[in-house]
Amino acid sequence: SQQGEEDPQALSIQEGENATMNCSYKTSINNLQWYRQNSGRGLVHLILIRSNEREKHSGRLRVTLDTSKKSSSLLITASRAADTASYFCATALFDSWGKLQFGAGTQVVVTP
């Protein structure tokens, strides 16, 4: 079963717009991570936010974490065509050694 569930499943925006996707999870986590996957490629790590952090930035990426609501969001600002990819959240479960479980992903299409 999947721990994290992303919303929306798909997102279509134009270059320059912001893209926001959300992730909800069910059990206590050590951290939550976001990954990107381009078509036909492996996943690439974007950002890791620990359970005692509320917000983190990396370039045009902003991640928030609300442990009380068991949810996280990923914001991509000023999107570019190159941001077209699937984005996955992954939760590192507290009661496991280091098990990282992925959600179903959000497919983002950025049109020029």
Partner 1 sequence: DAGVIQSPRHEVTEMGQEVTLRCKPISGHNSLFWYRQTMMRGLELLIYFNNNVPIDDSGMPEDRFSAKMPNASFSTLKIQPSEPRDSAVYFCASSFGQFEKLFFGSGTQLSVL
Pairing of strands 100-102, 106-111: unpaired
Residue 75 or 102: which CB sits closer to partner 1? 102
Pairing of strands 19-24, 43-50: unpaired
Task: Let me know: does 80 contact 57? Beta carbons within 8 Å.
Answer: no
Asked whether position 43 contacts partner 1 by CB under 8 A, the answer is: yes
Residue 82 or 97: which CB sits closer to partner 1? 97
* Closest to 64 measured CA to CA, from 27, 99, 106, 22: 22
Residue 112, preceding bond cis, omega within 30 degrees? no
Among 71, 72, 101, 107, the residue binding partner 1 under the rule CB under 8 A is: 101
Site size toward partner 1, by CB under 8 A: 24
- To partner 1, the closest distance from the beta carbon of 104 in angstroms equals 5
Q: How many CB atoms lie within 10 A of CB 79?
A: 21
Residue 80 or 99: which CB sits closer to partner 1? 99
Among 8, 12, 14, 45, the residue binding partner 1 under the rule CB under 8 A is: 45
Q: Which residues bind partner 1 (CB under 8 A)?
A: 2, 30-31, 33, 35, 41-45, 48, 88, 90, 92, 96-105
